[in-house]
Amino acid sequence: MMYSQQEYDMVRRQTMQIEAEKRALLRWTLIVVTILFACSLVLSGLMYQKYSVADGKIEAANTRATVAENKLNEVSADLAQKNAILEKNSATAAQQNEIIQTISPKVVSRTASEAEMAQLAHAIYNQPGRMIPLSNIPPNEVLRSYRYRVDGRPNKYTIVPGMIDGKWVIYSVLVKNQEDK
């Protein structure tokens, strides 16, 4: 069997057409793969950028959280200290109010001792306005100076009468405050 030149040419054309189609398909495949690769690079870059920004945000949030915890600890310590001072002051104020409530009736009835009057003068001095109201006029015997020791320091208070809005009050004035010698 012999083939003619036309048949050879036809087979050659078909083979060339098949090879051309294969090259076109490979070209399109290469174009698509290249586009996908470029897209994946762009997408990877965007993801890395978001990752690095998120990492920065996490670090900033951790820093803010640490600073906030430190401030919380400082504020908690200050609050505890202030509460301790407040409780101490409340206890002192309650004690002074008790002294005033127990001794002021004795002042009016003239039965208070010298030591009680010194305590009362100190308690009145520590009150707001440095005065307390009395039910009636204070006796003249109590309107003088008293010595009272506070933390080892002698203080001298003078009790002075007064009238506010028709009510009698007594004031306590700190006259002398000095160290022991």
Cα angle vertex 32, ends 28, 34, to 5°?
A: 115
pLDDT band at 23 (very low <50, low <70, confident <90, very high): very high
pLDDT band at 1 (very low <50, low <70, confident <90, very high): low
Cα angle vertex 78, ends 98, 66, to 5°?
A: 160
Backbone angles phi, psi at 176, to 5 degrees: -140, 135
Per DSSP, 99 falls in state H
Average pLDDT over residues 41-53: 92
pLDDT band at 179 (very low <50, low <70, confident <90, very high): low
Q: Which residues contact 142 (CB under 8 A, 6 or more apart)?
A: 107, 110, 112, 117, 159, 170
The span from the CA of 47 to the CA of 55, in Å, is 12
Q: Which pLDDT value is given to residue 17? A: 95
Q: Which pLDDT value is given to residue 76? A: 95
Question: Tokens in use for 5?
Answer: 């030149």
Residue 180 has pLDDT above 70, yes or no: no
Count of domains forming the chain: 1
Question: Tokens in use for 29?
Answer: 């495949």
Cα angle vertex 115, ends 112, 120, to 5°?
A: 70
**Residue numbers of the domain that contains 110:** 1-181
pLDDT band at 56 (very low <50, low <70, confident <90, very high): confident
Average pLDDT over residues 113-128: 86
How confident is the model over 84-100, as pLDDT tens digits? 999 988 888 888 888 88
The span from the CA of 177 to the CA of 109, in Å, is 30
Q: Which residue has the higher pLDDT, 29 or 104?
A: 29
pTM: 0.54
